Amino acid sequence: MWFGVRTTSRLLASLQFSRAQTSKEILSLTCHSSSSFSPPSSCLSSLHPSIRPSLFSRFLSTPPSPSPLMELKKVLEVLEQFSPLSLAEPWDNVGLLVEPSRPRPISNILLTNDLTEAVMDEAEALTCDLIVSYHPPLFQPIKRLVQRDWKQRLAVRALEGGIAVFSPHTSWDSVRGGVNDWLVAGLGSGQVSVLSQALANAPCRFKLEFKVRNAEDLQPITEQLKKEDSKTTMIHSFNSCEAEGLLASVFCSETALPSAVQTLLQHGVTSQALAILKTEQPPLPGHGQGRLIVLDQPVTVATAVEKMKSHLGLKHLRLALGSRHTLQSTMSRVAVCAGSGASVLKGVSADLYVTGEMSHHEVLDAVASGTSVILSDHSNSERGFLAVVRERLVARLPDSVTVAISKADRDPLEVV
């Protein structure tokens, strides 16, 4: 039987096909059939010749392709593309923190600023496969997994429920277009720069500069360096000639440095004539901690407060006026840092600091220097960015993956 399907009842198929030959020409077709489900020849003959032969076989014999299933590894690759973990601070604990022993396709992702027990209840109710928690729920080394510690309970529940847990934390702060760029955008447009520049995550290299009498003396040195350092690439440049001899330089990795120095000393290079320099890592423009904006249109302190309330979705903020500032003072240079930003903002010349939290004495220092301070409480300066993350993940993941923002996640402090 045509279409390879046996039917015991009358079937009605209405298939409409359109093909525009010009901007004014559209061919359409409606076909009706009985239980034999044979395509009427009159329908086929009315179709444009280029689509007539294979239209039904192609359209009817191939079922719709389901959205591809996503393995955890693939979802993590998408997250890594959005914000490389190499941008995180050295002290941070980022990446995949909990990995179930039985892998399963990722269908439901829950985004949260903090993984609390209330958020875990929510994740279990939503049958989540992956929790992306901005703050790492596991930070300090763990020697045991027991029920008396709430963070250890969360790890146990995640493992028992087959839920993976991923944390990006300071990699989201640092990346261009991340948390800090989102936070500073609440104040308006302007020229934005990075406060603490991120550097390329490249292996540490050292430059050794020394002199030899001539090229003949240099040859055995280079041969031994290459022989002893078969795994690490060394760059040799002999770029200038002086009256006292030939100036040479060798670039090597940190692990190859001791053997390279030993080789040079064995070949008569004196320690006084040997210079060892540590090369700096190249900066990553646009990436780093904190942001400074020079506003295109300066605002008053009062306006800045209202703008940040609206941007963060808060009814209240804490404000400390800088010395000689009033609510009507004009702010043009504003430094921001999501979370606890005192260490990043310290010493930055600005009219206004915006961050989540600062200590009492850190606020006093800022005020004394003539800088006003807006505090939102820690996670309130970060949580709104989850909506941006959700949009980006939805755009990059297949329809088979649902991305939700936690409704149970909230800052532990509130104004009463």
Mean predicted confidence (pLDDT) in 222-243:
61
Mean predicted confidence (pLDDT) in 129-142:
96
Can you say whether residue 347 is alpha, beta or left, with left for phi > 0 and alpha for psi between -120 and 50 degrees? left
Domain total in the chain: 4
Whether 265 and 413 share a structural domain: no
Tokens of 28: 């359409």
Share of the chain above pLDDT 70, in %: 79
* The one-letter amino acid at 153: R
* Predicted local confidence at residue 207, as pLDDT: 87
Residue 178: Cβ within 10 Å count: 24
CATH number of the domain bearing residue 375: 3.40.1390.30
* Predicted local confidence at residue 40, as pLDDT: 43
Whether 89 and 149 share a structural domain: yes
Confidence band of 208 (pLDDT split at 50, 70, 90):
confident
Q: Which residue, 256, 278, 300, sits at the end of a domain?
A: 278
Mean predicted confidence (pLDDT) in 286-297:
98
* Predicted local confidence at residue 361, as pLDDT: 98
If you average pLDDT over every residue of the chain, what do you get? 83
Mean predicted confidence (pLDDT) in 292-296:
98
Whether 242 and 224 share a structural domain: yes
Whether 209 and 226 share a structural domain: yes
Whether 194 and 296 share a structural domain: yes
The answer to the question of residue 265 being in a domain is yes
Whether 324 and 193 share a structural domain: yes
Mean predicted confidence (pLDDT) in 312-333:
97
The answer to the question of residue 368 being in a domain is yes
Nearest to 129 by CA among 77, 70, 87: 70
The answer to the question of residue 367 being in a domain is yes
* Predicted local confidence at residue 279, as pLDDT: 84
Whether 397 and 321 share a structural domain: no
Whether 317 and 359 share a structural domain: yes
Whether 194 and 326 share a structural domain: yes
* Predicted local confidence at residue 212, as pLDDT: 79
Whether 194 and 317 share a structural domain: yes
Residues 83 and 174: their CA atoms lie apart, in Å, by: 9
Q: Which residue, 230, 258, 278, sits at the end of a domain?
A: 278
In tens, the pLDDT along 17-51 reads: 333 333 333 333 333 333 333 344 444 444 444 44
Using DSSP's 3-state secondary structure scheme, residue 126 falls into coil
In tens, the pLDDT along 238-256 reads: 555 555 667 888 888 888 8
Strand order in the sheet with 372-375: 190-199, 283-300, 330-340, 352-357, 372-375, 318-320
The answer to the question of residue 352 being in a domain is yes
The answer to the question of residue 183 being in a domain is no
Domain that holds residue 39: 2-60
Confidence band of 113 (pLDDT split at 50, 70, 90):
very high
The answer to the question of residue 404 being in a domain is yes
**Which is more confident, 146 or 208?**
146
Question: How many Cα atoms are found within 13 Å in the side-chain-facing hemisphere of 145?
Answer: 10
- How much is the pTM? 0.74
Whether 194 and 337 share a structural domain: yes
* Predicted local confidence at residue 243, as pLDDT: 57
Whether 171 and 75 share a structural domain: yes
